[in-house]
Amino acid sequence: MKPSLAKGTRDFTAQEVSRRKYIINILQKNFELFGFQPLETPSFENLSTLTGKYGEEGDRLIFKILNSGEYASKVNQEDWDNKNHQKLISQISDKALRYDLTVPFARFVAMNHGKLTFPYKRYQIQPVWRADRPQKGRFREFYQCDADVVGSESLLQEVDLVQLYLKSFSDLKIPVTIHMNNRKILSGLAEYAGITDKLIEFTVALDKLDKIGKEGVVKELLEREISQESIDKLEFLFNQSDDALENLLQLKEKFADSEIGLKGVEELEFVLTQSLNLGVDMQNLVFNITLARGLDYYTGAIFEVKADEVAMGSIGGGGRYDNLTEVFGVKNIPGIGVSFGLDRVYLVMEELNLFPEEASTQVEYLFANFGGEGTVEALKLIMQLREKGISAELYPENAKLNKQFTYAEKKGIKNLVFLGEEEIKNGKVTFKDLAAGEQKTLSLEEFLG
């Protein structure tokens, strides 16, 4: 059988693993700096936990897990004959791989709310799975790095998460722009256009503006039975100025009769103003009125982060979700969270050549193997280096020196150490810096530092 990978998955080499760890370590450090605590949840959840939380399109992308045993024997023949897919799924699958980290987090909070101290701040760095079409920057298995706060309605949480985003991407040396909107503003737009009953259809179509353009959005709105008259009232959405506060002022006039719309404007204005007061450059924040993020559970602020110098989708996103735990029977636990897309962040850093040398795992010293007494002495010296936290290894066979040189060069080892009879006799160590091509002989004391 010819070995192959499942579509949308990848193997990671030593360098890739090291670079991913570099990103994760920076994010983890900042999460903890901002007061977030770690949490991990299972790779799969009950299917009922996940369905109905991501909208119609999201539900289709959930990876279902077949029940163990003779699952097919329990299928209702009538449902099979009529191709009743939803009923068939419920009969053959009751588990699914997690689609994101937010819904499992909400499930955790609902199950443990009596034991938690609110506001509860958690971060989570784990893989998620989506049955999506693989393409550049989009995989079926990928990591999310989330930070969420539940149990507080304060808009200062939004301001703090803006700071978290900017500091983390600054530490990673990635220039970014944070696009912001508010779902209440989108609800206000639906009221203004007379399509309140079509809010979900409206936001799902609007969220695709970057991918399908204005004409594509208009076409989809018409297909979703939204009238041309309503679409004409929303024409101004596609002609926004670069001044966020000016655009918000325009909305205040249009939302004169929309309480929820005005509330959204007020909330977004607060977050933008406070961020600017804290020294955030307005160029790093964009009020993107067409930003919808097609997840049904968002209720307030929504964020999307884009890299300034690389043509790619968002590398982070999130928002407020005040009602998510209600579906699990627990009310009045508002929440807000953001996510960093590890895989896309990696691709951006790779394209911009932002990984420092220390982001790659390299062995410091390879000891050449000459056999005999030198092997034992080399192993003793290797132990001393490792106790000092310095990576070292012995070439396993007494092979030709050219072969040992080749091994060191291909593996990216920095130095090749020669511990021959002369060095052992005189208490010395000879080593060659393979990058510089320089060779030195030092006493054992000097070598060990």
Query: Annotated binding site for L-histidine: which residue ranges?
Result: 100-102, 130, 144, 148, 293, 297-298
As a whole number of angstroms, the distance between CA 321 and CA 296 comes to 9
242 Rama sector, left if φ>0, alpha if ψ -120 to 50, beta otherwise: alpha
441: left (phi over 0), alpha (psi -120 to 50) or beta: beta
Please report where in the chains the tokens 């009602």 appear, as a residue: 323
CA 109 – CA 120 distance, rounded (Å): 9
- Pairing between β-strand 285-287 and β-strand 176-182 as defined by DSSP bridges: parallel
**Known binding-site residue numbers:** 100-102, 130, 144, 148, 293, 297-298
- The CA angle 215-289-293, to the nearest 5 degrees, is 80
β strands within 109-222, DSSP E: 120-129, 141-150, 176-182
For the stretch 84-123, what's the b/e string if a residue is b when 16 or more beta carbons lie within 10 angstroms of its beta carbon?
eeeeebbbebebbbbbbbbbbbbbbbbeebeeeeebbbbb
* Rounded Cα gap, residues 185 and 214, in angstroms: 19
CB 58 within 8 A of CB 294: yes
CB 43 within 8 A of CB 97: yes
Phi-psi region at 52: left, alpha or beta (left = phi > 0; alpha = psi -120 to 50)? left
| Sheet with 95-97, side-by-side order of all strands | 44-46, 95-97, 64-65
Say which residues have a Cβ less than 8 Å from residue 158's Cβ, sequence separation at least 6: 267, 271, 301, 320, 336
Structure tokens of 170? 């600054």
